[in-house]
Amino acid sequence: MSLPNKSHGRKSISASVTPRDLMGQDERLAHVWTADIITLFPDSFPGVLGQSLTGRALTEGKWALSITDLRLFGDGKHKNVDDTPAGGGAGMVLRADVVGKAIDHVLRLQKMKKPLIFLSPRGQVFNQNMANEWIQGAGVILLAGRFEGVDQRVIDHYGIQEVSLGDFVMSGGEIAAQAMIDACVRLLPGVLGNAASIEQESHQHGLLEHPQYTRPNEWNGRTIPDVLFSGNHQKIDEWRRSESEELTKTRRPDLWSAFKPR
């Protein structure tokens, strides 16, 4: 299959949303953690990923973003990508032949194996453990769903893992993809200024994070807990641990049940 001269291939390490030629890949990006996105809306990226810490890390080449425009693989003059559900029903379904060609194209570009993920409300719910697993490899390939989803034969043929952002339905997978990528990128070496921040965050060790305070010491009659001014790091750690456990117990009994046996 011959591709058009212009397409949404590997992004520059800058935070620009300007598409690059598929073959114009920077050799500097060959060995960095890369998020490959297959989407009908390539201009959605980098989106918020081009801002703040993730945006700076993208510019500095600490991670890379590769966007594949699914529409380029569409069928016929109008580049159709979907059709009505077999057996009837509302909405449209992304076609297996179209999505399959896009996936094959992305897989051919890979130098190392990556998890292949379909962003779907019926998938396993994304969590911190998943983010930690994904950053251990070369990156991740995310298929952003639209309409009523993708033909099941694609999922079965490629052994795609379905992952959800949560128990709700969105118009497409692009926002979910950005959220998951952000969760991964901030774990990469050198992205956060203080690596210790990661260790103290919610979910990193199975608990929600303890409350945080900063100046002014008093605000609207509310003061910062005295223990945080004690200078006794053991007592501060114990207070933070106790607060984390209490918050988790109260707000997320599911997490607390999983944590308790440790």
Dump pLDDT digits (tens) for 96-146.
999 999 999 999 999 999 999 999 999 999 999 999 999 999 999 999 999
> Measured in whole angstroms, how far is the alpha carbon of residue 35 from the centre of its chain?
8
Q: Is the pLDDT of residue 17 over 90?
A: no
Q: Is the pLDDT of residue 199 over 70?
A: no
Helix, strand or coil for residue 184?
Answer: helix
- Domain residue spans in the chain? 27-185, 201-259
Q: So what's the pLDDT on residue 24?
A: 39
> For a pLDDT cut of 70, what percent of the chain falls above it?
84
CB 83 within 8 A of CB 129: no
What does 82-137 look like in DSSP terms, one character per residue? EEPPTT--SS-EE-HHHHHHHHHHHHHH-SS---EEEEEEEEEEP-HHHHHHHTTS
Q: Is the pLDDT of residue 233 over 60?
A: yes
Among candidates 133, 126, 138, 132, which has minimal Cα distance to 33? 138
Grade residue 12 by pLDDT with cuts at 50, 70 and 90: very low
Q: Is the pLDDT of residue 259 over 50?
A: yes
Q: So what's the pLDDT on residue 193?
A: 75
What does 15-42 look like in DSSP terms, one character per residue? S------TT---GGGTTSEEEEEEES-G
Lowest mean pLDDT among 135-139, 175-179, 192-196: 192-196
Q: Is the pLDDT of residue 19 over 50?
A: no
Query: Domain 201-259 class?
Result: mainly alpha
Helix, strand or coil for residue 166?
Answer: coil
Question: What mean pLDDT do residues 12-35 have?
Answer: 53
CB 201 within 8 A of CB 190: no
Grade residue 205 by pLDDT with cuts at 50, 70 and 90: confident
Question: What mean pLDDT do residues 69-81 have?
Answer: 97
> For a pLDDT cut of 90, what percent of the chain falls above it?
77
All residues at 6 or more sequence positions from 18 whose CB lies less than 8 Å from its CB, including other chains: 12
DSSP letter (8 states) at residue 7: -
DSSP letter (8 states) at residue 70: G
Pick the CATH number of 27-185 from 3.40.1280.10, 3.90.950.20, 3.40.50.10490, 3.30.360.10: 3.40.1280.10
The structure's pTM equals 0.83
- CA–CA gap between residue 124 and residue 208 (Å, rounded): 20
Beta-bridge partner residues of 116: 141
